[in-house]
Amino acid sequence: MKTELMQRGSVVLVTAGASGIGRAIAEQFLAQDCAVHVCDIDESAIREFSEANPNATATQADVSLVADVDRVFDDIESRYARLDVLVNNAGIAGPTGNIEDIDPADWDRTIAVNLGANFLCSRKAARYLKRNGGSIVNVSSNAAFTGCPGRTPYAASKWAISGMTKTLAMELGRFGVRVNAICPCSVEGDRIDAVISRDAKRLKKTEADIRGIYQRQSSLRRFVTAGDVANMAVFLASESGRYVSGQAIGVDGHTESLSNWLDD
């Protein structure tokens, strides 16, 4: 539902914006009459997104790579010559396992995508946002509140995003730029389904058992939806959120614990 939160014509970049949470965020900004550009590593997802949202623009890119991020911002410059909102949504689940079993290559890839991409995109966006003010919204996780046993690379990357969020809010605040992080609990969709499947195999439990354990981590006993995350992203970037900055905001139904999945 359109709520008239955003200034019409605001230019928004959503990373990993062609599917899942990113697509929900991009489409919510489109519903606010924003000019939306998405980037995504998946060309087929971009095609599907573009067919459904012909008013949006897109770049195929892996935002953990400097050259790809440069290309995304070249497209932003040529098409819009401005940027008002950056949503750093790109992220991966990373490996599941005890610390001694984590492959260093999996660690490196998780940090590169979940943290490095935020740095690379924020670095390029800052020069635009400092001109007229604006907003950076980082999609983090409730793992940044508690830690997450068995998901060391993922949790480490999300805690680091909180530090980056606070620091950039300090650096950019005097230019009228607000920086916040959204920390959802498990989000309904393919990513959490894959994590549940891996955990079930590793712990020799059923997927239904693992799903129930994850749902009981939240006081509301359910997963968040991509739409819930999208609503918060628009709020934080909007005039209604004009005095919210430097915050890591839970959209998680109140996380009670992320450790009980290990309990017998």
Active-site entry in 64, 122, 128, 154: 154
Contact status, residue 35 vs residue 13, Cβ threshold 8 Å: no
Q: Are 160 and 117 in contact (CB under 8 A)?
A: no
The contacts of residue 261 (CB under 8 Å, 6+ apart) are 149, 150, 199, 203, 210, 213, 214, 217
Instruction: Write down the catalytic residue from 10, 19, 135, 141.
Output: 141
The HSE-up count of residue 65 (CA atoms within 13 Å, CB side) is 10
- What six digits make up the tokens of 150? 């068995």
Task: Please say if 243 is a catalytic residue.
Answer: no
Total residues belonging to the chain:
264
CB 178 within 8 A of CB 169: yes
Rounded distance between C-alpha atoms, residue 85 and residue 129, angstroms: 8
Write the CA distances from 50 to 12, 19, 109, 135, integer angstroms. 15, 11, 28, 24
Catalytic residue among 158, 186, 214, 218: 158
* Strand order from edge to edge, sheet including 11-15: 57-60, 35-40, 11-15, 85-88, 134-139, 177-184, 248-251
Please answer whether residues 182 and 140 qualify as being in contact, where contact means their C-beta atoms are separated by less than 8 angstroms: yes
Assess whether 158 carries a catalytic annotation. yes
Tell me if 261 sits within 8 A of 213, measured CB to CB: yes
Which residues are known to be catalytic?
A: 141, 154, 158
